[in-house]
Amino acid sequence: MHDQRLKDIVPFVASVESGSFTAAAERLHVTGSAISKSVSRLEARLGSRLLERTTRSLQLTDAGQAWYQTCVRIMEELAEAESVLAAQRIIPSGRLRLTVPSTFGQRIVMPALIPFCQQHPELELSVTFTDRFIDLFDDGIDVAVRIGGSTDRPASLGCRQMGRERMVFCASPDYLAKAGTPQNEHELLQHPAILYERIDGSTKPWLLMTEDGHPVWRNMPHRMALGDVDAKVQAVCGGLGIAQMPTWLIREQLSRGELQVILPQWQPEGLPLTLVWPRRKQLLPKVDALLNALSGLEIG
C-alpha cells in the first residue's frame, strides 16, 4: 500500500502539470492508459474526485488542488533529502526561498545578498519582501527574517538570533531649534509625535523605559500617522515632530546630520531580529550557507 501511494503521486502530478494524460504519458515514457488507471486508482483509494476530465483538458477539483499541493511538497522534500545525502552536493545549489520584512530587507538584507549570490552562482534565489506573517511550511519558505514576534516556536522550526534593534527618539535639527530639545520624558511627551500606522488602522506605540529600567509600550497621541516607514522618515526630516525609529532605518540621515538623537539615555532595546527556518532543511548546503551569510549582518 505504501509503495503504491508513492507510485501514484508522480503520474498525478505529471498529469496536472502537463495538462493531459497523453502529455503526462510522454513525459514519463509510459502509455496514456497507464496514467489514466493510476489516477483513477488514486481517486478510488482517496474516495475523492481529483480531476475533472474533458476532451481537451484536465481541471483540478478543490480536493485535487489540496492533494496536488501536498504531493508537490512531498516530492520537493524527497529531492532536498537526496541532496543532503548525496556527497557531490556539498556546493550550495538549487532554488532557495527567503522572506524578509519589506524595508529591513531592502536596507539591510539585500546588500548582503548580492555578494552571497556572486559567491554561489549555482543558486536560484527567490526573495519575498513583505510585512505580513508568512507560514514557512504552507508557503515553502527555506529561511525567514523576522522582527519581533512570538518566542514560542514549534520544535519543527530552527531559530537563530541576529541581534536587536536599537531604538532612538529623533527629530530634525530645525525642529529642535524652533520647538526646543526635550530634556526628560515629560517634556518629550509634550511634543507632536509621528507614528507608524499599521494595516488595520492602529498606530504602533512608543517603547519607553520605566523608572526601574523595564521597557513598556505606550500608545501616543500623535500629529501624524503614516503607513509607510520611508514617508515617516521624510516627515521627521521635514520638521513635523518627533519619532521613535530603529537606527538601521535612519543610519544615513543620522550620519548626514538630517536627524538628531534625543534623550539617548532613555533609549530602550528594540525588537529582536531572528532567522527562522524549517529544522529539517538546516543540513541543506544552500540553507546553511544563507544562515551563515545573514547571521553576521551589521544592524546598527
The whole model's pTM is what?
Answer: 0.66
Domain with 286 in it: what CATH number? Answer: 3.40.190.10
134 in a structural domain: yes
Range of the domain at 248: 166-270
Q: Where are the alpha helices (DSSP H) in the chain?
A: 2-18, 21-28, 32-46, 62-85, 102-104, 110-119, 173-179, 185-188, 229-237, 251-255, 285-295
Q: Dump the DSSP string for 207-245.
A: EEE-TTS-EEEE----SEEES-HHHHHHHHHTTS-BEEE
Residue 88: per-residue pLDDT? 46
Q: Are strands 157-171 and 260-262 parallel, antiparallel or unpaired?
A: antiparallel
Residue 196: per-residue pLDDT? 93
Domain check: are 146 and 178 in the same one?
no
C-alpha cell at 47: 474516495
**In the listed set 85, 115, 134, which residue is the last one of a domain according to the structure?**
85
Domain check: are 283 and 134 in the same one?
yes
Domain check: are 129 and 174 in the same one?
no
224 in a structural domain: yes
300 in a structural domain: no
Q: What is the tens place of the pLDDT at every residue in 23-37?
A: 989 999 999 899 999
Nearest 5°: phi and psi at 17?
-75, -30
Q: What's the total number of domains in the chain? A: 3
Domain check: are 11 and 44 in the same one?
yes
Q: What is the tens place of the pLDDT at every residue in 44-81?
A: 988 999 999 877 788 999 999 999 998 988 888 787 77
Rounded to whole angstroms, the maximal C-alpha distance in the chain is 83
Q: What is the tens place of the pLDDT at every residue in 183-218?
A: 988 898 899 999 999 888 899 998 887 777 777 888
Q: Residue 236 — very low, low, confident or very high, per pLDDT cuts 50/70/90?
A: very high
pLDDT > 90: percent of the chain: 49
